[in-house]
Amino acid sequence: MAERTPSTIIRGSLGEFTLHVAEFADLDNADTWASGIQGIVSIMAVQTSASTGTVGLNQGAGATLTTASTGLITVFNGEDAQTGTLWVISRS
C-alpha cells in the first residue's frame, strides 16, 4: 500500500456535477490517492491487464472513498503494478 499521484488528471463539467479522470502509471492493491475532491458521489476504477494487455473491469479493479473529508480513495485491484484510471463524479 502506497500513496499514488496520477500522471494525468482531466476534469469536465456534467451540469451540476464534475467528472475527474485520473490516470495512474502504477497501481498496486490497496494503494491510495489523496484526491482532495469534495462531494464525491461515484467512483469507477479501470485497470490494464499485464497478462492480456486489455483494458476493462475483468481484472477486478475497484475503488472506495476511504475518507470523505479529504477525498482519500483506496484502490483494490486484481493485479499489482498495472496502469489504471479512476473516474470520479463529484458535486464540486
Per-residue model confidence as pLDDT tens digits over 26-82: 888 899 999 999 999 999 988 876 555 555 544 567 899 999 999 999 998 776 767
Residue 40 resides in a domain: yes
CB 57: neighbour CB atoms within 10 A?
A: 12
Compute the C-alpha angle 35/32/41, nearest 5°.
50
Q: How many domains does one find in the chain?
A: 1
Report the pLDDT value the prediction gives residue 27, as an integer from 0 to 100: 83
Question: Do 28 and 76 contact (CB within 8 A), yes or no?
Answer: no
Domain of 43, in residue numbers: 8-90
Q: Is residue 65 part of a domain?
A: yes
What is the reported pLDDT for 83?
82
Q: What is the pLDDT of residue 65?
A: 94
Distance CA 25, CA 79 (A): 13
> Is 1 a domain residue?
no
Residue 59, domain member (yes or no): yes
Q: β-pairing, 72-76 with 62-67?
A: antiparallel
CATH number at residue 48: 2.60.40
Answer whether residue 8 shows pLDDT above 70. Answer: yes
